[in-house]
Each structure stands twice: as C-alpha cells, then as structure tokens.
Amino acid sequence: MKVEPAVPSRELKLEQIACDFVVIGGGLAGTCAAITAARAGLKVALVQDRPVLGGNASSEVRLWALGATAHMGNNNRWAREGGVIDEILVENTYRNPEGNPIIMDTVLLEKVFNEPNVRLLLNTAAFEVTKSDPETIAAVQAFCSQNSTMYELRAPIFCDASGDGVVAFLAGAAFRMGAENTEEFDEKLAPSKDYGELLGHSIFFYTKDTGRPVKYLAPSYALDDITK
C-alpha cells in the first residue's frame, strides 16, 4: 500500500517525445500516413484519442473503407486504392471474411505494431499547440486518460488527421465548413449553391428480418424535429 500526504497541488507526469513526424488522429488517413512515413525511415508518433485505430472504420463507428468504388455511384465498380490502404483491406479480407469490425481493429493495430519506427499513443487527445513563429508549429501537447500522462510532442512536421482539424484550428490555420458550390472546383456532384450545414448524427443500427411487423420505439433522447 502506498500512502501520500495531502499537498497544495501536484503535477501530472510529463513525457517529452521528439521525432521526425507527428500524426494527430489514428483514423485510416492518419494510420496510413504514419505507416508510410515510418517505412521511409522517419521516426513517427501516432496520437489517437480513442482506444482503437480506424476512426469511422473502427468498431466504435463501423463504417467501412469506401474509397474509389464510391458505392459504384460513379461507375467505379472495379476501382481500388493501392499502397497501405490496399494492404490493410487485403489483409482484412483474408483474416476477417465475415466483416467483423472488432477484427478490423486488430488488423489495424497489428499493422502499426509491426512498424518499429512508430510510437503509438492510444487514448491520447491533443489539446494545445506551441508555435516557434506565426507559421511554424513547434510542439503539440496531449493528455492520455489511461495513464494520466501529459505528452509534449516535438517534430519538424505535423499531420492533422484528427477529423475535426483540432491542431490546424489551434494553430490558427484558415478553415471552412460546409460544401462549396459546383463551380469552385468544377465538381459535378457538388451543390449549385454553397452552404454551411453539416451532416447530422445518427445511431448505428442493424436490421433483421423477424418475419412479422415490429413496432419501432424511439429512445427518449431522440429529436422530434432535427431542424431545431
């Protein structure tokens, strides 16, 4: 048993990490960026605020890696990505023929663990940026909720793959939200007029044929009017 007396205040453990490349966000984009950089010889720190890798493609959200096929909406039925994402999808197809999202988690984790140049920090959220000058990020501060450790990550190159753009936002980078109109980048599928609305939240669900009508009971927190 360890007993500590009361004190006015305490400091959390601080670990300083210096490397060549820091990736914030362990979704598919961040994971592939970290692996690719590590294979090129860079020392990489991959910071993920969740307990699993994959982001929307993880067992926490359970969307799948779509990419070039675009649900065949663009007639790209036989299209596929190459590189690291292709390695991941091929490995997952072999090891996970039933499409279990938890097994997909392990495939991603193993891919990162197999790279000796990657330092993986799970359950670790970036919350502050330090800049050496107005145009240069010097360090990112992050906190791990599982070991109560603060991290100061320094590198000449940072990648914001957080999904919410937290590092870019804290660094003062320009940003935009919503959808641009079709003329700006000559996108056929873009709206004719730009707008700032974003996608709403939904609850992932499974369907099953019960052989009979089943009444749906919405949870008490469901919104009656999504426009409010």
Cβ contacts of 208 within 8 Å, gap of 6 or more: none
Task: Say what the pLDDT of residue 70 is.
Answer: 65
Q: Do the domain assignments include residue 192?
A: no
Q: Do the domain assignments include residue 187?
A: no
Task: Say what the pLDDT of residue 115 is.
Answer: 98
Q: Do the domain assignments include residue 186?
A: no
Instruction: Give percent above pLDDT 70 in the chain.
Output: 96
Please say if the pLDDT value at position 228 is more than 80.
no
Per the structure, the complete domain to which residue 144 belongs is given by 13-170
Task: Say what the pLDDT of residue 145 is.
Answer: 93
DSSP 5-41: ---S----EEEEEE-SEEEE--BHHHHHHHHHHHHTT
Task: Say what the pLDDT of residue 28 is.
Answer: 96
Please say if the pLDDT value at position 72 is more than 60.
no
Number of domains the chain contains: 1
Q: What is the rounded average pLDDT of the residues 105-124?
A: 98
* Nearest CA among 219, 205, 170 for reference residue 24: 170
Task: Say what the pLDDT of residue 189 is.
Answer: 80
Q: What is the rounded average pLDDT of the residues 19-26?
A: 99
Distance of CA 62 to the CA centre of its chain: 13
Q: Do the domain assignments include residue 8?
A: no
pLDDT digits (tens, 9 = 90+) for 136-174: 999 999 999 999 999 999 999 999 999 999 999 999 999
Task: Say what the pLDDT of residue 23 is.
Answer: 99
Q: Do the domain assignments include residue 149?
A: yes
Question: Which of residues 116 and 67 earns the better pLDDT score?
Answer: 116
Q: Do the domain assignments include residue 190?
A: no
Task: Say what the pLDDT of residue 82 is.
Answer: 87
Mapped onto helix, strand or coil, the DSSP state of residue 133 is: strand
Question: Which of residues 95 and 199 earns the better pLDDT score?
Answer: 95
Cβ contacts of 219 within 8 Å, gap of 6 or more: 203
Overall residue count recorded for the chain in this entry = 228
Task: Check which CATH number belongs to the domain holding 140 and give it.
Answer: 3.50.50.60
User: Half-sphere exposure (CA, 13 Å, Cβ side) for 227?
Assistant: 0
Task: Say what the pLDDT of residue 86 is.
Answer: 92
Measured distance CA(143)–CA(171) in Å, rounded: 18
pLDDT digits (tens, 9 = 90+) for 26-71: 999 999 999 999 999 999 999 999 999 999 999 998 887 877 766 6
- pTM value is 0.87
Q: Do the domain assignments include residue 177?
A: no
Average pLDDT, the chain: 91
Mapped onto helix, strand or coil, the DSSP state of residue 91 is: helix
Among 80-84, 110-114, 224-228, name the one with the lowest average pLDDT.
Answer: 224-228
Task: Say what the pLDDT of residue 75 is.
Answer: 63
Please say if the pLDDT value at position 128 is more than 80.
yes
- Spatial contact of 141 and 154, defined as CB atoms under 8 Å apart: no
| One-letter identity of residue 165 | G
Among 105-119, 150-164, 213-227, name the one with the lowest average pLDDT.
Answer: 213-227
User: Half-sphere exposure (CA, 13 Å, Cβ side) for 172?
Assistant: 7
Measured distance CA(113)–CA(119) in Å, rounded: 9
